[in-house]
Amino acid sequence: MPEGHTLHRLALDLTAAFAGRVVAVSSPQGRFADEAALLDGAVLVGAESWGKHLFVHLDDGSEAGALVHVHLGLIGTFAVHAAVDAVPPPVGQVRLRLARSGPGGAAYADLRGAITCALVTAEQRAAVIGRSGPDPLRADADPDRAWHRIHRSRKPVGALLMDQGVLAGVGNVYRAEVLFRQRLHPLRPGNTLRVGQWQSIWDDLVVLMAEGVRTGRIDTVGPEHTPEAMGRDPRRDDHGGEVYVYRRTGQPCLVCQRRVSTAVLEGRNIFWCSRCQPVFRSRAVG
DNA sequence: GAGGGATGTCGAT
DNA sequence: TCGACCTCCCTCC
């Protein structure tokens, strides 16, 4: 699940469920037990995301407060259950549990399978953010920082969009889809893009990812390409949304009918339509 | 019910 | 380049 929209939504959900409340902090699995004991009984101030990183701010009575850094990795989940009758016993490997009771009913959140769950300082948080590129979901994002990296790089734009130091929060689905929507081949070198093309990528990501936060799915097809509009079966897949090329290898392009192509780039699958996203040819012909 | 792949990243080799 | 993380959901039997 975790692309930037998932983390952004998670931060909103955690804040809605726990902000301003005393939280019971535990690590039923045990791997975060020492830290959890220190945080137990603190007041949760709020949660925020930057790209795929999540930070939970707590007031533990110390001057600086406490900060938990979470990265879900590929398989992690952080499920928020708001307004339940009672907090049930943990099931499976729960690395971190936040729980509260009181007005509005009980609420709890269970973290499983995360690659990172650590107590960090404000300086460590700043370092993580400093290593990250702009996040299209953040109002304070500066897309020029990403453009500065992209237009000087010979690396494929498909690789650059996934580099969290260039752009934060874009994963394999948004990469594939925004490049299709902008009719750009994923192997096209970054330094061959024009600034207007980059601006279109950024603007599109801002809209698509905000929609993802709102719906909890990744839907990228225009109104003319929905299952209803085209009279086709809706997609049933684990990301749940309607897309143009992501994991549609061999199926007909929704725009031109050519079969969707796939390849591996830097260890990850890329998907594109070879007619809608033609191979870029340099004008500097040998 | 088993088996495998995946929306990610880091550290060890 | 490989394993860890050890979840979730899909496909195949």
Cβ of A73 less than 7 A from strand B: yes
Q: pLDDT band at A238, cuts 50/70/90?
A: low
Q: What is the pLDDT of residues A195-227, one digit of tens each?
A: 999 999 999 999 999 999 999 889 999 999 998
Element holding A206 (H helix, E strand): helix A195-215
Q: Which of residues 213-252 of A touch strand B (CB under 7 A)?
A: 218, 238-240, 247
Cβ of A238 less than 7 A from strand C: yes
Minimum CA–C1' distance nucleotide for A73:
B8
CATH of region A4-131: 3.20.190.10
Over the range A229-266, which residues count as b (16 or more CB within 10 Å of their CB) and which as e? eeeeeebeeebebbbbbbbbeeeebbbeeeebbbeeee
**Mean of pLDDT values over A171-177:** 94
pLDDT of residue A284: 45
Q: pLDDT band at A239, cuts 50/70/90?
A: low
Q: Which two tokens stand for residue A57?
A: 């701010």
CA–C1' span, A103 to B10, in Å?
41
Q: What is the pLDDT of residues A50-92, one digit of tens each?
A: 999 999 999 999 999 999 999 999 999 999 998 888 999 998 8
Write out the residue limits of the CATH 3.20.190.10 domain(s) in chain A. Answer: 4-131
Q: What is the pLDDT of residues A243-268, one digit of tens each?
A: 999 999 999 999 999 999 999 888 89
First to last CA, chain A: 44
Sheet holding A96-100, edge to edge: A24-26, A96-100, A106-112, A77-84
Cβ of A115 less than 7 A from strand C: yes
Which strand B nucleotides have any atom less than 7 A from protein CB atoms?
5-10
CA–C1' span, A238 to B4, in Å?
14
The three state secondary structure string of A92-155 is CCCCEEEEECCCCCEEEEEEECCCEEEEECHHHHHHHHHHCCCCCCCCCCCHHHHHHHHCCCCC
What is the rounded CA–CA span in Å between residue A217 and residue A210? Answer: 10
Q: Which one of A214, A232, A258, A268 is the catalytic residue?
A: A268
Write out the residue limits of the CATH 1.10.8.50 domain(s) in chain A. Answer: 143-272
Mean pLDDT is lowest, of A49-53, A156-160, A226-230, for A226-230
Which strand C nucleotides have any atom less than 7 A from protein CB atoms?
4-11
Residue pair A153/A147 in contact (Cβ under 8 Å)? The answer is no
Q: Is the CATH number of domain A143-272 3.30.300.30?
A: no
pLDDT of residue A235: 75
